[in-house]
Structure 1
Amino acid sequence: MSKQRPPPDPVAVLRGHRASVMDLCFHPSQPLLCTGSADGELRIWDTIQHRTILSAGVHNAAQGIASLACSSSIGANKVISQGRDGTVKCWDIEDGGLSRTPSVTIKTNSYHFCKLSLVKRPHSSSKRVYGTTHNDSDEIRVRENADADALDNSREKFQEYLPEQSSTFEENTQVEGSKYVAVAGEQPSEVEIWDLNTAERFARLPQSCVAGSSGISTTERGMCMAVQAFSPSESQGFLNVLVGYEDGSMLWWDIRNPGVPLTSVKFHSEPVLSLCVDGSCNGGVSGAADDKVVLYSLDHSMCNAVSYSPDCKLMASASEDTTVALWELYPPQT
C-alpha cells in the first residue's frame, strides 16, 4: 500500500468574513475571487495581493448566501448571488464597488441547499484531461487520446481589473441560452430555468403534462440536489440541463423537450451532491454522499456496442457517429 503524500499548504489564507464561507467563484478573466458567507456578505478579493477589494451585504444576514456564480456569458463585470431567502440577484461590479441595488432580482421561492447554475458553453480550445473515478479503496483511471484600511486602499486599484467590453468578446459569449440560470424549483424535485434579462421563469423540468401528452414525474427521485446548465455544440445553441437527485440518479434534459429527459442514469447509491460539465461540454463529473466521484461522457450519438479486451486493460465502444473509442482502464479489472 503506497504512502500518500501530504496535501500542499495554501499559498494564502484570506481572512475577513465573520461567518462561515458558503461558496466562492473566480472572475472569468481577471485575478479576482468572489466569496459569500452565511451572514449574507459578499467579498471580492485580489488573488495577487491577497486583499479584499470590496465587501457588501447582499442577502439577509439571517439566511445568508447559498451560492455565487460569475461567467463571461452574462457579462464580464457581473456576479450572481443566490440566497437562502428564496432570491437570486445579479450585481454589477462598478466604480470600485457593487451597484447599490441588483440589476435583476428573481424571487424563486425555493429554500434548500441546491446551488444555481449558469450556462456553460464549450470552449474551442478545450482538451480532454486525465480523470479519476474513486470508490473508497478502489481507483480506476480513465484516459482518452482583510481590514478596513486595506479595503479602502484596494478600491482605488479595482478599476484596473475591469476588462474593456470589446466586440469580439461579446460575439463569443452572446449565444442562445447564455442569459439563463437554472435553479432547483419551488417544488423541490423540479428544476426551473429563469431569464436573467426579464426575471421571468422560462421553463420547468419536467414540464407539467397536459392532456394527451407523455411525461414523467421526478417526485420519486427525491429533491434536486445538484444542477448544471450547458449548451453543447450538438444542440445548436439550445439549453441542456444535467440534474442530480436525492436517490443518486441523474437526468439529462434538452429544453426543446421539457417533458421527457434525453436519458437517465444512476451512478450513485446516495444523494448526488455536486455536478460539473467539462469545458468541451462532452463529459462531466459527479460527486455523491456514497464517497464516489464518477467521470462520464455526454454522447449524443447512440452507442451500438461495447467490449473489454481479454486482460481487461482496454475497453472499446462503437458509436452511431461512425467512430470507435478506445479506453485504457487502470488497474485491470478482475
Structure 2
Amino acid sequence: MSKRAAPDPVAVLRGHRASVTDICFHPSKPILFSGSADGELRIWDTFRRQTLSSAWLHSAAHGILALASSSSLGTNKFVSQGRDGTVKVWDFDDTGLSRIPSVTIKTNSYHFCKFSLAKNQSTGSKAGEASKDCLETEEVHTNQSCSESSEGLSYVALSGENSSEVEIWDLKSAERFARLPSSIGSNSSSVSSKGMCMALQLCVPSESQGFLNVMAGYEDGTMLWWDVRNPGVPVSSVKFHSEPVLSIGIDGSCKGGISGAADERIVMYSLDHSSVTSFIFTLFF
C-alpha cells in the first residue's frame, strides 16, 4: 500500500516559546486551547487565528501535561493538568482568562499519563438516574452521586499517586471519588505487576446505568476495563499490545475504542460492557 503525502496545514499558529504538550478544542465555540512545557496556556480564535489570551497556569519547571474542555463543565470552563501534581479548573470569558483557578486538586501524581474527563454521549441523560445510587468505598460516602443530572458529569480520571492505580476525582469538591483497584478486597498486587498506567479514558456506557467506567492501558501492554460499582476487580482484561500502551480513545457512544502502543500497532475494538473484542483491524507502522 502506497503512503499518501501529508496534507498542507490550513493554518499555522505561532506564539509558544516552548514545546506544545497538549491541545483541545472548545466543544461549541471557535476556540482552541494549547499548553506548553513551560506552563503557558494560550487561547486561540480559530477563525481569526489569533491569540485571545495567555497565562502561565503551571510552573515553568513542570509545565502543562494535559488540557480538556467539555460541555459538561459549562461553556466558560476548562481543565488543566500539570506535572506539578495538580489539576485545575479555570474560568474564561470574552475579557480573558481568570488568574486564579476556581478549583485546584492536589493529586500527588507526578506521572506522564494524561487525565480524562467523563465522556458525554447521546444517552447521557441516564447519568442522572443513577445519581443517588452510588458505590461505597473508603473514600466515598454512601449515596454520594457519581453523576450530575443538571450540569453533566464533573469527574476526572488520572493515574494515581501509586502509578499502577487509577483515581477518579470530583471536580466540584476537589475530593477523590474512587480508586481502581480499591484497597479493600482487591487484586491490587495483580494490577501492580502490569506496571504504570500509561493511558486512560473515562466514560459512561449506556449499559452501566449511569455509572462511571474507565478503560486503562498499562506498561506491559494490558488494558483493563473498570466499573466503579466493582472497584476491586476489572470488568475485562485484554492484551492487544506487547509494549506499553501510549494512547486510548473511546467513541462518543462508548461502544468502541482504539489504542496505540510502543509496539507500533494501532488496534480497534468493540465494547459491550461484558468483554472487549478486537476487530480484525490492526495497523503496523
Name the TM tier (shorter chain).
0.7 to 0.9
**Which residue of structure 2 aligns with residue 215 of structure 1?**
187
TM-score by length of structure 1 reads: 0.73
Distance 2:275 2:116 in 1: 27
Task: Say if 1:172 and 1:41 are closer, same or farther in 2 by CA, change over 3 A.
Answer: same
Q: Separation in 2 of the partners of 1:301 and 1:241?
A: 13
1:121/1:281 contact within 8 Å kept: no
Q: Is the 8 A contact 1:287 1:293 kept in 2?
A: yes
Where relative contact order (Cα < 8 A, 6+ residues apart) is larger, the structure is 1
- How far 1:300 sits from its partner (Å)? 2.4
Shift, 1:77, TM fit: 1.1
Give the equivalent residue in structure 2 for 1:238. Answer: 211
CA distance in 1, matches of 2:275, 2:196: 29
Give the deviation of 1:87 after TM superposition: 0.5
Contact 1:81 1:89 in 2 (8 A): yes
Give the secondary-structure state (helix, strand or coil) at the position aligned to 1:120. Answer: coil
Matched to 1:293, the amino acid is I
Aligned to 1:168: none
Partners of 1:221 and 1:203 lie apart in 2 by 20
1:95-244 map, 5 Å: 95-123=94-122, 174-175=151-152, 178-209=153-184, 213=185, 215-217=187-189, 218-244=191-217
Aligned equivalents of 2:269, 2:17: Cα separation in 1: 39
Percent of residue pairs identical? 66
Gap regions ≥5 residues in structure 2? 124-147
Structure 1 position 288, deviation (Å): 0.4
Q: Which residue of 2 aligns with 1:37?
A: 36
Write the distance in 1 (CA, Å) between the matches of 2:150 and 2:28.
13
Q: CA deviation at 1:268?
A: 0.2
Runs of 4+ in 1 over 6 A off after TM superposition: none
In structure 2, the partner of 1:82 is 81
Larger radius of gyration: 1
State whether structure 2 residue 220 is matched by structure 1 residue 247: yes
2:79 and 2:222 map into 1 onto residues whose CA distance is: 28
Q: 1:261 to 1:100 in 2, by over 3 A?
A: same
RMSD (CA atoms): 2.3
Instruction: Supply the AA of the counterpart residue of 1:174.
Output: E
- Once the two structures are superposed, the pairs formed by residues 18-33 of structure 1 within 5 Å of their partners are 18-33=17-32
Indicate the residue corresponding to 1:300 in structure 2. 273
Q: Deviation of residue 121 (structure 1)? A: 2.2
- Classify the secondary structure of the residue corresponding to 1:221: coil
- Measured in 2, the distance between the counterparts of 1:26 and 1:88 equals 18
Tell me, in whole angstroms, the C-alpha distance in 1 between the residues paired with 2:268 and 2:281. Answer: 14
What is the one-letter code of the residue matched to 1:205? Answer: L
Number of aligned positions between the proteins: 258
**Aligned partner of residue 73 in structure 1, secondary structure:** helix
Distance, in Å, in 2 between the alignment partners of 1:78 and 1:107 is 19
User: Gapped runs of 5+ residues in structure 1?
Assistant: 125-170, 307-314, 316-326
